[in-house]
Amino acid sequence: MKILIAIGGREFSKPTLDLGMKIANSFKSSTTIAYVGKKISQFSEKDVSVVHQNLDDRELYRPGIRTLEWAYDFLISKKYIEEKDSNTFDDYLLVDEENSRMKVLLKGQQSDKIDLIMRTGEIIEQLKDEVETNKHDITIIGGGGNKGIHQKLVQFIDSSVFVVKNYSVYKKYKILLPVNDSEGSDMAIDTAINFAKSYKLNVEIVSVPEGKKSIEEVKKILNKTKDKFSKNKIKTTTKLIDGLTVNSIVNYAKDDSIIILGVSPKNLIMKYFFGSKPLSIALKCNCPVLITK
Amino acid sequence: MNESYKIISSSILFWFSQKKWFVYSILISIFLLNLNTPLGLTVPAYHSLIILLLVFMLVTFEPIPFPAIALLTLVLQVVLGVAPPNVVASSFMNDAVLFVMGSLMFAIAIVHQGLDIRLAKLIIKIFGKSKRMFLAGLMTISAVLSSFLGEHTVIAIMLPIGLSVIKNIDTQQADGKNAVLLTLFSIAYGTIIGSIGTPSGGARNVIMINYLQEFSNVSIDYWKWMKHAYPILMIQLVVAYFVLQFTFPSSLNNIKMRGFKKNVVKIDVKKNINHLFSCLIIIGIVSSWFAFNDIYGLGIIALAGALTFMIFGMISWEEINKNTNWGVILLFAATISLGFQINETGASSWLVLKFNELLATFPSNSMDVSWSIMAVLSGLTANFFTSSATVSLIGPLAIELHPTDISFALSSAIASGFSFLTVISSPTAMIIYSTGLVSTKIFFKVGILMFCISIIILYLMSQFYWVML
């Protein structure tokens, strides 16, 4: 499994980085920490590039490196990386790769499990390119900023998207798994099983009767899902909730929930213009949300 | 089939989401093309204005690369019957375009020589007695150099000096943060203000000089421009110094003036000779701009500067080719060509006529009102559209307002240089923003004050000082 963690400002990126690394460690996956720099106007892009080269030559940190250095120090302080004298940021090398991608190599860096990269440009375009080029399975991004970014990420990025909203290291989380009979829901169940096993988290399976589905049919879906978890020796509770799907789930979710959802089976064009239920839940709720693909 | 549909529709949607402004711009243009031509306008003139609007939208939102916008502008001029192919081709290249090309190459050659190390030593030697003096010195040197060599050259040289003295400052504390901002803004404002000082300070100045020569047969040489603009520059510098000290109060305790020295590699004899020779070339080129711009034009002299660096092996063609923004050169060439057609087709006269009709409804002195609107419009447009592109497109209108009075054209060009509001307005602003230490909000907050004061200074100078020249 390959995980991409996108970071921005320092304070806001702490929870994203922390949760992202926990997931990466529990799945023993390789991780890329990406800093996407501000998009530069075409008028000034060459001027900016010349200045940044100049800063490198003068051994002055170029923008973005400071954030990656902070991220690296944070990983060491949390013991996600083993600290060695040789793997500090005092001696780094920037490797200019294709499509505005720059890889940071540290002298004496032993592990190939964690990559630090910098990209410059429009964030969706850059993350999409990163996921497509390096085949990441999960993209983890902070919950702050523009909601449109999350919508576009879910829409266009070819990986599961984890939006880390209001995450606290001190809380004991439980998984909230809304299910129905769609293909996306099956994928969400598989992911939730993996997560629950790795973290030993409790799981709450919920379902909302939609359309012409009877209560019995919905209960059947709930029980079937519960069985899958029981086979994996994971504790679950089930709940049938009434009302409009999005609002009911958003209201039901608590601050200590991690919602895991499947991607909507709706037509892409319809989703682009009118949105989808998983997307609306991700935008409205106040806790971390993983949309699986 | 289902998978292929998903991939195709996802690709189309992604393209649309990234390029939606291109689609909107084209739809708006098609809609306007289908309307009746406004009374008093010829069809080519109307079409040239539609292309103008299209270019404004595309350059502002950047949905497609600049070279593509440039080519589209040329193609549309011919296809929509604004001008025949040969006329478009001949208006595509002139001295202003050569200046843009030459000054960009010249800038890369200068930056490549590593003169910042020597300059830092010089600034510390002259202004190093106190930290406030040092910042004032940074600002002044940035302004003087920028007035002759252009913003992009000077910011590339001065920023490493600025960043090195603030390298270890803790920006979490207000005093430290203010010290960082004060240093960066001192360089940025010095560089921005300086660019109005001489014709070679910015491409917009050269574009306006060219337009004045072509449309009004008025010639402005290097010295004449300086006489008009340099006093404004000096007043602005003093004002900017106090505005920044007031906005970012700091003890400056954390600034390490000698910080740059740590990074200074031992300069060997070869480097010494290189630096000496670079300075001689720069002095030679600036002197030539003073002495020979009437004969050779500013563009050819700028190209000669880049050429000299290349001939003497001080920079390779590969380096120049890699770092020159060819897209911007193409775009300026195309917008200048469009500017010529807007004038030739009579579109600018029509716009000015409508503008004057609007002014007639104002009770106060129409000259003052038209000056104010033109200057503020130039300044604001430049902040959202960049200065040179603004002058290349609305320059003809400023001249047409008062063809024989250069104060309108000069004011428009100078006001376009007041890039204090947005980070996209000039290379300096974008470079400072790209450090990640300055936010768009802070840039605007300080900039709005500087912008308003600068417009007032420009107005007063045009009313009371220029009339004496």
CA distance B368 to chain A (A): 33
CA distance A130 to chain B (A): 15
DSSP per residue, B335-367: HHHHHHHHHHTTHHHHHHHHHHHHHTT-SS-HH
Chain A stretch 263-282, residues whose beta carbon is closer than 8 A to a beta carbon of chain B: 267-269, 272
Pair A127, A47 in one domain: yes
Q: How far is it, in rounded angstroms, from Cα A1 to Cα A80?
A: 17
Q: Is residue B20 part of a domain?
A: no
Sheet holding A203-207, edge to edge: A92-96, A101-106, A114-120, A30-37, A2-7, A138-142, A160-164, A289-292, A257-262, A174-178, A203-207, A236-240
Q: Does A44 touch chain B (CB under 8 A)?
A: yes
Q: What does the pLDDT read at residue B114?
A: 84
Which residue's entry shows tokens 């990386």? A81
Contact A42 B10 (CB under 8 A): no
Q: Does A149 touch chain B (CB under 8 A)?
A: no
- Total domain count for chain A? 2
Q: Any bridge partners for residue A31, and if so which?
A: A3, A114
Pair A25, A144 in one domain: yes
CA distances from B414 to A12, A246, B290 (A): 41, 55, 19
Of A119, A146, A164, at which residue does a domain stop? A164
Q: How far is it, in rounded angstroms, from Cα B208 to Cα B413?
A: 7
Q: What does the pLDDT read at residue B420?
A: 94
Q: Is residue A139 part of a domain?
A: yes
Per-residue pLDDT of chain A (293 residues; tens, 9 = 90+): 899 999 886 667 888 898 888 888 877 888 999 998 878 888 888 888 888 888 877 777 677 887 888 888 888 888 887 776 666 666 677 787 777 788 888 766 555 678 889 988 888 899 999 999 989 999 998 877 666 788 888 888 889 999 988 888 788 889 999 998 888 888 899 989 988 888 788 899 999 888 777 888 888 989 999 999 898 888 899 999 888 888 999 999 988 899 999 888 777 777 778 778 888 888 888 899 999 98
Contact between A110 and A104 (Cβ < 8 Å):
no
- The tally of CA atoms less than 13 A away on the side-chain side of residue B76 is 26
Pair A190, A151 in one domain: no
Q: Is residue A194 part of a domain?
A: yes
Contact residues on chain B for A145, CB-CB shorter than 8 A: none
Q: What does the pLDDT read at residue B67?
A: 94
CA distances from B269 to A159, A282, B266, B274 (A): 56, 63, 10, 9
Q: What does the pLDDT read at residue A175?
A: 92
Pair A217, A263 in one domain: yes
| Host domain of residue A194 | 174-292
Which residue's entry shows tokens 């973290």? A199
The CATH number covering residue A224 comes to 3.40.50.620
Q: Is residue A169 part of a domain?
A: no
Contact B62 A51 (CB under 8 A): no
Q: What does the pLDDT read at residue A10?
A: 63
Q: Is residue B7 part of a domain?
A: no
Q: Is residue A155 part of a domain?
A: yes
Give the number of A-B residue pairs with CB atoms closer than 8 Å: 106
Q: Does A11 touch chain B (CB under 8 A)?
A: no
| Host domain of residue B258 | 36-468
Pair A109, A193 in one domain: no
Contact B327 A40 (CB under 8 A): no
Q: Is residue B28 part of a domain?
A: no
CA distance B164 to chain A (A): 7
Q: Is residue A201 part of a domain?
A: yes
Q: What does the pLDDT read at residue A112?
A: 61
Contact residues on chain A for B424, CB-CB shorter than 8 A: 41, 43-44
Q: Is residue B29 part of a domain?
A: no
Contact between A292 and A279 (Cβ < 8 Å):
no
ipTM above 0.95, yes or no: no
| B428-458 burial: b if 16+ Cβ within 10 Å, else e | bbbbbbbbbbbeeebbeebbeebbebbbebb
User: How do A174-178 and A160-164 pair as beta strands?
Assistant: unpaired
Contact residues on chain B for A46, CB-CB shorter than 8 A: 104, 323-325, 328
Contact residues on chain A for B11, CB-CB shorter than 8 A: none
Contact B434 A54 (CB under 8 A): no
User: How do A138-142 and A160-164 pair as beta strands?
Assistant: parallel
Q: What does the pLDDT read at residue A282?
A: 86
Q: Name B90's Cβ contacts closer than 8 Å, sequence gap at least 6.
A: none
Q: What does the pLDDT read at residue B161?
A: 87
Of A146, A164, A182, at which residue does a domain stop? A164
Residue A143 main-chain phi, psi, to 5 deg: -90, -10
The token pair at B114 is 């590593």
Q: What does the pLDDT read at residue A145?
A: 64
Contact B156 A51 (CB under 8 A): yes
Q: Is residue B9 part of a domain?
A: no
> Which of A64, A55, A106 lies closest to A81, judged by CA?
A106
CA distance A262 to chain B (A): 17
The token pair at B68 is 């593509």
> Which of B445, B435, B420 lies closest to B184, judged by CA?
B435
Which stretches of chain B drop beneath a pLDDT of 50? none
Q: Is residue A248 part of a domain?
A: yes
Interface test with B, best of A10, A38, A40, A46 (most B CBs within 10 A): A46
Contact residues of B toward A, CB < 8 A = 6, 9-10, 13-14, 17-18, 62, 65-66, 104, 108, 111, 114, 116, 152, 155-156, 159-160, 163-164, 167, 263, 323-325, 327-328, 386, 389, 424, 426-427, 430-431, 433-436
Pair A183, A158 in one domain: no
Considering only CB atoms, B323 lies closest to which of A50, A60, A66, namely A50
Q: How far is it, in rounded angstroms, from Cα B207 to Cα B387?
A: 11
Contact residues on chain A for B111, CB-CB shorter than 8 A: 50, 54
Q: Name B52's Cβ contacts closer than 8 Å, sequence gap at least 6.
A: B338, B342, B347, B393
Pair A160, A22 in one domain: yes
Q: What does the pLDDT read at residue B228?
A: 95
Region label for B325, one of left (φ > 0), alpha (ψ between -120 and 50) or beta (otherwise) = beta
- Total domain count for chain B? 1
Q: What does the pLDDT read at residue B421?
A: 94
Q: CA nearest B164 in A: which residue? A: A60
Q: CA nearest A122 in B: which residue? A: B18
Q: How far is it, in rounded angstroms, from Cα A68 to Cα A8?
A: 9
Q: Is residue A74 part of a domain?
A: yes
Q: Is residue B21 part of a domain?
A: no
